[in-house]
Amino acid sequence: MITKYRPKNLSEFLGHDVLIGSIEKHLKNKTLPHAILISGESGCGKTTLARIIANYLGCTKGGYREINCGETGGKDKTISILDMMKYNSILSNVSVYVFDEAQGLTKDSQRALLKPIEEVKNNVYIIFCSTEPEKLDKALRGRLVHYTVGKIDDTPMYKILSHIWDSEGYNQPEKEKFLQSIIKRVDGIPREGITLLAKLRDTSIEEAKELVDGYTPENESMTIDFVRALAGVGGLSWTAIMEIYKKINSPVYSVHVITAKYFKSMFIKNPSERRSELLMLLSKIEDTPLHEEYFLSVIYLIHKEWK
């Protein structure tokens, strides 16, 4: 559902009127900067906005490159990408390079990008997306035009969720109550709202109420203890960690997403080839409500890796 209802154009990117107005003006006047930084919390639409911009620029699939910096943060891979920038794509008149999770770029990689950014060709655009822009080198940030994609207000969030509810033909009653509960729970982050709404589709009314209303401060504290134990704090065995997990009396969705977000952040900060594989597994947990067996198998691998 996340992919299905991802905004396809600027008019669908709700909740950021000033930002979108500025981008539209630049596109109309053909003055869009060639080196951009889009920052914001996970799930607010940074990469989605980068893809929309690429489409408006006339970049076709053959000219679009999206690089996960948690996997390709090393200088050697960055240099290979820079080599690609020297040549025009035969499949697209415009080339767009998106460095996702850009805070994962090594210092050497960031330095290697400085000169190419200053000398970028007229038909090449470079977009950095980051949840932690302050971790980018000051010299690199100084060469980028910075856009911020933040949390959205309740009104645009309601429009997004209501559209999905009606389009998907949800047959649960009390639409208004459920949507308002979701809006309160996800705190302005669109992806979390859509994911939580997707979870409601196959639940009973009672289960749905538990899902949106059952996350208490006590359960949140227990979830934090669970995540810390997975990270090796306390040196607990896998069996002891599972005992903590079983005691958490909160929606499974919330526990899964919090766990995935934490370890994604840690792996991006401390990358390795093995962890790049785990990052992909964590992204699936964060983006889509999955079976508990899958979640437990992934976090078992993470526990072994983090120890």
| Range of weakest confidence among 26-35, 112-121, 256-265, 268-277 | 268-277
Would you state the structure tokens that stand for residue 9, as one six-digit string?
């154009």
SS3 148: strand
Strand partners, 68: 100
**Distance set, CA 238 to CA 77, 136, 235, 303 (Å):** 36, 36, 10, 8
Q: Which pLDDT score, from 0 to 100, does residue 209 have?
A: 60
Confidence of residue 207 (pLDDT cuts 50, 70, 90): low
Q: Which pLDDT score, from 0 to 100, does residue 307 have?
A: 62
Higher pLDDT, 74 or 160: 160
Amino acid code (one letter) for 76: D
Share of the chain above pLDDT 70, in %: 85
Decide if pLDDT at 271 tops 90.
no
Burial class (CB in 10 A: 0-12, 13-18, 19+), 53: buried
Q: Which pLDDT score, from 0 to 100, does residue 219 have?
A: 60
Decide if pLDDT at 214 tops 90.
no
Share of the chain above pLDDT 90, in %: 36
Q: Which pLDDT score, from 0 to 100, does residue 210 have?
A: 58
- pLDDT per residue as tens digits for the range 100-150: 989 988 888 899 899 989 888 899 999 999 999 999 999 999 999 999 999
Q: Which pLDDT score, from 0 to 100, does residue 218 have?
A: 57
Would you state the structure tokens that stand for residue 188, as one six-digit string?
């302005």
Residues 199 and 167: beta-carbon distance below 8 Å: no
Would you state the structure tokens that stand for residue 262, as one six-digit string?
């934490």
Q: Tell which CATH classification among 2.160.10.10, 3.90.580.10, 3.40.50.300, 1.25.40.20 matches the domain 10-148.
A: 3.40.50.300
Confidence of residue 52 (pLDDT cuts 50, 70, 90): very high
Decide if pLDDT at 226 tops 90.
no
Three-point CA angle 224, 39, 52, nearest 5°: 120
Higher pLDDT, 185 or 129: 129
- pLDDT per residue as tens digits for the range 281-292: 777 776 555 577
Domain boundaries, the chain: 10-148, 154-213, 217-306
Long-range pairs of 180-189 with CB within 8 A, sequence gap ≥ 24: 181/212, 181/213, 182/212, 183/154, 183/157, 183/158, 185/212, 185/215, 186/157, 187/151, 188/150, 188/151, 188/152, 188/153, 188/157, 189/41, 189/42, 189/43, 189/44, 189/151
Compute the average pLDDT of residues 240-251. 79
pTM beyond cutoff 0.95: no
Q: Which pLDDT score, from 0 to 100, does residue 89 have?
A: 76
CA distance 61 to 66: 11
Residue 92 falls in which region: left (phi positive, over 0), alpha (psi -120 to 50) or beta: beta
Confidence of residue 154 (pLDDT cuts 50, 70, 90): very high
Decide if pLDDT at 176 tops 90.
no
Decide if pLDDT at 251 tops 80.
no
CA distance 24 to 29: 9
Compute the average pLDDT of residues 204-233. 67
Dump strand ranges (E) for the chain: 35-39, 64-68, 95-100, 124-130, 145-148
